[in-house]
Amino acid sequence: AQTVTQSQPEMSVQEAETVTLSCTYDTSENNYYLFWYKQPPSRQMILVIRQEAYKQQNATENRFSVNFQKAAKSFSLKISDSQLGDTAMYFCASQIQGAQKLVFGQGTRLTINP
């Protein structure tokens, strides 16, 4: 069974600071995919970044990057130069190859303070 765990219910940082959100997952599969989604107050989930498990290189999208540690089953999200618009719920999710559904963690509420 797939499980995804986010151990930080809430985080808060000042604007322009760097923040790292943690995520651990458990799967017996060797091929899978990992995602970070953002959910602002509008409730619409937006894909932030994704990582294929077979790729060793960490994914990067502008100010967002991941630290993927396959052996430790860890997939953290780093947000650099944080902005007020980054305030949202952030969900880590996994998808195993051959299955199409995403399994989400419990989420981390991130607040960026001015």
Partner 1 sequence: EAGVAQSPRYKIIEKRQSVAFWCNPISGHATLYWYQQILGQGPKLLIQFQNNGVVDDSQLPKDRFSAERLKGVDSTLKIQPAKLEDSAVYLCASSRRGGRNEKLFFGSGTQLSVL
**Which stretches of the chain bind partner 1, using CB under 8 A?**
4, 33, 42-47, 50, 52, 91, 93, 95, 97-98, 100-102, 104-107
Which lies closer to partner 1 via its Cβ, residue 13 or residue 45? 45
Cβ atoms within 10 Å, residue 78: 16
As measured in angstroms, the least distance from the Cβ of 114 to partner 1 is 26
As measured in angstroms, the least distance from the Cβ of 46 to partner 1 is 7
Q: Are 16 and 81 in contact (CB under 8 A)?
A: yes
Q: Are strands 64-69 and 10-14 parallel, antiparallel or unpaired?
A: unpaired
As measured in angstroms, the least distance from the Cβ of 11 to partner 1 is 16
Which lies closer to partner 1 via its Cβ, residue 17 or residue 40? 40
As measured in angstroms, the least distance from the Cβ of 15 to partner 1 is 26
> What is the C-alpha to C-alpha distance for residues 36 and 92, in angstroms, rounded to an integer?
5
Which lies closer to partner 1 via its Cβ, residue 11 or residue 45? 45
> What is the C-alpha to C-alpha distance for residues 28 and 94, in angstroms, rounded to an integer?
12
Q: Are 77 and 92 in contact (CB under 8 A)?
A: yes
